[in-house]
């Protein structure tokens, strides 16, 4: 498959850019932050996105979606990265939609996918229990209890956890922390007895939560996929999330870079535009090159998720690692080249630096993915 | 079967039939290249037979038109031929600056007569060309070149010096950038001229590099001459007089693309991690040195992303998108990456790869290659010049 967007995907990008520039620019995120909005995003806007088919971008038409595939989802994530749009897109439309499509029973699909596509139900994926990502480290217990399970443990850094109606949670039905075997995924109601959610106010003014599961009862119907065999299933879902985050960061990096280059052309010091200084030109040119590499890795990861879902682990690690590092570089260079104004809250660039810092941490930072690639390649 | 698949089957059958066994070991590497030219000594009968058969078929330059010694193949057919050659591990029958550089320049800027005169001997490996661009005082600032070329009625008179001329001592002809109008501004007044090196006025002197090898020469022109025409309609100057900078720029872009693609080709071999695992060994399935492991993993990430970028740029060009000046980005990143890669390979090699001479290291093969990579980010325009080009042509920064 050529490593370029097709016509349909290009059109999606154009319409997304137009929509987001108008309805969800950075100033919208600023407003959500300044008003300490309880939801952390605009439900009305999410409804509009759903009407355009974005919420169901991965959902098959049978279930009310538009089925544009991961490249389509990535195009939207990248555009939202440009405008730093706060929305439940990653959690609900990428993570939950992927989990249900790939792992759900017919009944689970029927019960969930149409409401995802309609933008009616919100989801969260609860994986990590420690400050650093690591699915194998999961210790949360899923004890056999009658015909079902009892879930106990603490989850952290759960994106959209405080607004989710349903939570996909990974727990240990066998084995010990550190082992890949023995994980099971559950789809539980956020209002179930024993679930307590604490909203965490994050650096990027977006939504996350710490969630405590205290003997939460889950029936066999709430198991997503196979009992004890959830590790690889979870990896697949996480890969989709990683590629989505990588696409988002690629968009944020491109936007921050374009703003910076424009500033270099306007700002005058020593009687001339600072963009005439070779010290800055070379840094900008280097960053341009790095961003081009990140874009390639991201597009390939999205394409491979569409064509070789089960084998996309390495390329998704590549995309997440490269986009994370490059986006960090882009935001740091932006603040440095903007100088003092880049340090002010009034100016937007800081929002990019903050969001990128959070997105690169989620589901494994660059070091995690570099190490994972090394392991996969036998060193 | 589609036409392309028919072609694939035919090409494969022909290669099976005609490629000598000794030329089917997949050996790449500088020491196995067949360069051709009047001074060339074939390394084996097989190498000569292979060149003769391939050039008779036009497949030393498969994309060139048939009338100029090429195979007249479409882009897709060339790709199929390369794939089949790779599958059978056929060596390349011929490589040369004539194929890489002069050929493309003539195909774009040459007259029909010039093409007929100069291209077939390149395709047959009979004439070896070298490139006279840089001068002692014109390196990164190439357009400040001073090599003088005067109009003497029926011929041109050339005086000056070139440097970093690859394999000039083994070449037969040279394509040279000369100043034909000393009064014109820097970029105008330059012409692109073809000169026979078999004359008293042209001499060469190899330059010994830190790798101990001498792939480059100094080339001196002392009252060297070139006729106005080598045959009716075959002017010594390619393109318009005083417009040689256009030809030079076109070839530099072409060269950048080749160097960056070459950087990619180098990545086709064993990965750094694999080399390290084999050479240093693993403990509990991991490289025991965590800092080296991290360094390798980081480099493999960048290398992979770079390869994907080469692929994406090719696909964008095919789709009519993309930015021409991206060849500068690829040249910059690819050559810097290659240097980094060889630093890591030397780290992995440790003291065992530091033997300069002797059987164990094949006379310091890796060490000499490592040193050679240092030129990657200098030749064909330094990394800093590439960054300037990106700043100016892509980012459109002021004053760049």
**Left (φ > 0), alpha (ψ -120 to 50) or beta: where does B212 sit?**
left
In 3D space, the residue among B29, B172, B37 whose CA is nearest the CA of residue B92 turns out to be B29
Q: Do A249 and A329 belong to one domain?
A: yes
B129-242 homologous superfamily: Butyryl-CoA Dehydrogenase, subunit A, domain 2 (2.40.110.10)
The model's confidence at residue B262, banded by pLDDT at 50, 70 and 90, is low
Identify the segments of chain A with pLDDT beneath 50: none
Segment of A238-252, B134-148, B263-277 carrying the highest mean pLDDT: A238-252
CATH of the domain at A56: 1.10.540.10
Q: Do A225 and A276 belong to one domain?
A: no
Residues 208-237 of A with CB under 8 A from B: none
Closest Cβ–Cβ partner in A2, A265, A278 for B318: A2
- For residue A329, the distance in angstroms to the closest alpha carbon of chain B comes to 14
pLDDT tens readout for residues B29-69: 777 899 999 999 999 999 999 999 999 999 999 999 999 99
Does position B9 have pLDDT exceeding 90, yes or no?
Answer: yes
Q: Do A262 and A357 belong to one domain?
A: yes
- Cβ atoms < 10 Å from Cβ of B374: 16
Q: Domain boundary residue among A229, A248, A273?
A: A229
Residue B321's pLDDT is what? 83
Mutant choice from A279, A292, A304, A365 vs B, greatest count of B C-beta within 10 A: A292
Q: Do A135 and A242 belong to one domain?
A: no
Residue B259's pLDDT is what? 64
How far, in Å, CA of A205 to CA of A122, rounded? 19
Residues 282-301 of A with CB under 8 A from B: 282, 284-286, 288-289, 292-297, 299-300
Residues 308-337 of B with CB under 8 A from A: 308-309, 311-312, 315-316, 318-319, 321, 326, 329, 332-333
B247-394 homologous superfamily: Butyryl-CoA Dehydrogenase, subunit A, domain 3 (1.20.140.10)
Contact yes or no for B391 and A281 at CB 8 A: yes
Residue B224's pLDDT is what? 98
CATH of the domain at A237: 1.20.140.10
Q: Do A172 and A241 belong to one domain?
A: no
Does position B377 have pLDDT exceeding 70, yes or no?
Answer: yes
pLDDT tens readout for residues B274-285: 899 999 999 999
Q: Which CATH number is B3-123 given?
A: 1.10.540.10
Residue B174's pLDDT is what? 98
Q: Do A251 and A361 belong to one domain?
A: yes
| Domain total of chain A | 3
Residue B1's pLDDT is what? 66
Residue A188's pLDDT is what? 98
Residue A86's pLDDT is what? 96
* A2 falls within a domain: no
The model's confidence at residue B107, banded by pLDDT at 50, 70 and 90, is very high
The percent of residues above 90 in pLDDT, for chain B, comes to 82
Residue B265's pLDDT is what? 45
Residue B323 token pair: 């930015």
The model's confidence at residue B264, banded by pLDDT at 50, 70 and 90, is very low
Closest Cβ–Cβ partner in A264, A282, A377 for B273: A377
Q: Do A300 and A340 belong to one domain?
A: yes
ipTM, 2 dp: 0.96
In 3D space, the residue among A262, A251, A291, A244 whose CA is nearest the CA of residue A82 turns out to be A251
How far, in Å, CA of A247 to CA of B35, rounded? 46
Q: Do A111 and A34 belong to one domain?
A: yes
How far, in Å, CA of B381 to CA of B142, rounded? 9
| Helices marked H in chain A | 7-23, 26-34, 43-51, 69-83, 97-103, 106-117, 230-266, 278-307, 313-338, 349-361, 366-376
Q: Domain boundary residue among A183, A209, A229?
A: A229
Q: Domain boundary residue among A229, A259, A282?
A: A229
Largest distance between two CA atoms of chain A: 78
Nearest CA in chain B to A1: B315
- Which residues of chain A are within 8 Å of residue B277 when distances are taken between CB atoms? 378-379
**Where in the sequence is the domain holding A19, given as residue range(s)?**
7-121
Residues 107-126 of B with CB under 8 A from A: none
How far, in Å, CA of B328 to CA of B400, rounded? 15
How far, in Å, CA of B86 to CA of B301, rounded? 26
The β-bridge relationship of strands A195-201 and A207-218 is: antiparallel
The structural domains of chain B, with segments of one domain joined by +, span: 3-123, 129-242, 247-394
Q: Do A286 and A264 belong to one domain?
A: yes
Question: Mean pLDDT of all residues in chain B?
Answer: 92
Catalytic residue among B77, B255, B336, B353: B255
């Amino acid at each position: 498959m050529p490593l370029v967007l097709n016509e349909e995907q290009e059109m999606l990008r154009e319409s997304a850019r137009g929509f987001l520039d108008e309805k969800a620019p950075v100033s919208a995120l600023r407003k959500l932050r300044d008003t300490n909005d309880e939801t952390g995003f605009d439900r009305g806007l999410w409804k509009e996105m759903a009407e355009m088919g974005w919420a169901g971008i991965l959902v098959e038409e049978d279930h009310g979606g538009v089925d544009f595939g991961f490249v389509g989802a990535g195009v939207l994530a990248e555009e939202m990265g440009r405008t730093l749009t706060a929305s439940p897109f990653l959690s609900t439309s990428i993570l939950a939609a992927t989990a249900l499509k790939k792992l759900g029973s017919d009944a689970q699909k029927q019960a969930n996918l149409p409401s995802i596509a309609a933008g009616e139900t919100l989801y969260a994926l609860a994986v990590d229990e420690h400050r650093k990502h690591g699915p194998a480290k999961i210790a949360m217990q899923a004890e056999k209890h009658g015909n079902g399970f009892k879930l106990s443990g603490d989850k952290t850094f759960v994106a959209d956890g405080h607004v989710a109606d349903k939570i996909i949670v990974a727990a240990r039905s066998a084995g010990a922390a550190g082992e890949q075997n023995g994980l099971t995924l559950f789809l539980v109601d956020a209002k179930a007895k024993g679930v307590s959610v604490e909203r965490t106010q994050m650096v990027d003014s977006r939504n996350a939560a710490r969630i405590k599961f205290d003997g939460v009862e889950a029936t066999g119907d709430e198991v997503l996929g196979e009992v004890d065999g959830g590790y690889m299933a979870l990896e697949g879902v996480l890969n989709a999330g990683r590629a989505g985050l990588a696409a988002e960061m690629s968009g944020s990096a491109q936007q921050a870079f374009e703003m910076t280059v424009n500033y270099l052309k306007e700002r005058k010091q020593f009687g001339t535009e600072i963009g005439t200084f070779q010290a800055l030109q070379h840094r900008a040119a280097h960053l341009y090159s790095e961003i081009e590499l990140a874009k390639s890795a991201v597009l390939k990861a999205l394409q491979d998720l569409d064509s070789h879902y089960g084998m996309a682990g390495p390329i998704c690690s590549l995309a997440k690692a490269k986009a994370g590092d490059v986006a960090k570089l882009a935001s740091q260079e932006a603040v440095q080249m903007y100088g003092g104004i880049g340090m002010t809250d009034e100016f937007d660039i800081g929002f990019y630096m903050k969001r990128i810092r959070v997105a690169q941490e989620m589901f494994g930072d660059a070091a995690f993915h570099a190490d994972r690639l090394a392991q996969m390649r036998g060193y | 079967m589609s036409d392309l698949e028919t072609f694939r089957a035919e090409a494969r059958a022909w290669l099976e039939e005609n490629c000598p066994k000794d030329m089917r070991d997949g050996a790449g590497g500088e020491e196995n290249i067949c360069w051709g030219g009047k001074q060339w000594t074939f390394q084996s009968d097989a190498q000569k037979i292979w060149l003769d058969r391939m050039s008779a078929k036009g497949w030393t330059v498969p994309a060139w038109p048939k009338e100029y010694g090429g195979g007249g193949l479409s882009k897709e057919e060339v790709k199929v031929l390369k794939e089949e050659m790779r599958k059978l591990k056929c060596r390349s029958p011929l490589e040369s600056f004539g194929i890489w550089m002069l050929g493309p320049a003539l195909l774009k800027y040459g007259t029909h007569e010039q093409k007929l005169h100069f291209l077939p001997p390149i395709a047959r490996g009979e004439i070896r060309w070298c490139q006279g661009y840089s001068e002692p005082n014109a390196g990164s600032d190439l357009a400040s070149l001073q090599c003088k070329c005067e109009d003497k009625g029926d011929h041109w008179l050339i005086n000056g010096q070139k440097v970093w001329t690859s394999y000039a001592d083994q070449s037969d002809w040279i394509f040279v950038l000369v100043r034909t109008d000393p009064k014109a501004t820097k970029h105008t007044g330059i012409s692109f001229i073809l000169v026979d090196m078999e004359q008293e006025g042209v001499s060469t002197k190899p330059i010994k590099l830190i790798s101990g090898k001498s792939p480059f020469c100094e080339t001196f022109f002392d009252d060297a001459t070139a006729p106005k025409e080598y045959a009716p309609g075959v002017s010594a100057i390619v393109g318009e007089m005083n417009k040689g900078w256009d030809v030079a720029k076109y070839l530099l872009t072409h060269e950048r693309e080749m160097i960056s693609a070459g950087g990619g080709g180098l990545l086709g071999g064993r990965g750094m991690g694999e080399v390290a695992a084999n050479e240093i060994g693993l403990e509990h399935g991991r490289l025991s040195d965590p800092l080296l492991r991290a360094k390798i993993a980081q480099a493999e990430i960048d290398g992979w992303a770079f390869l994907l970028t080469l692929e994406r740029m090719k696909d964008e060009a095919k789709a009519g998108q993309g930015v021409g000046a991206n060849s500068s980005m690829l040249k910059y990143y690819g050559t810097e990456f290659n240097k980094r890669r060889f630093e890591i390979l030397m780290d992995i090699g440790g003291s065992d790869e530091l033997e300069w001479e002797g059987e164990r290291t094949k006379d310091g093969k890796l060490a000499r290659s490592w040193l050679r990579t240092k030129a990657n980010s200098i030749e064909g325009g330094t990394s800093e010049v590439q960054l300037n080009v990106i700043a100016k042509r892509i980012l459109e920064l002021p004053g760049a």
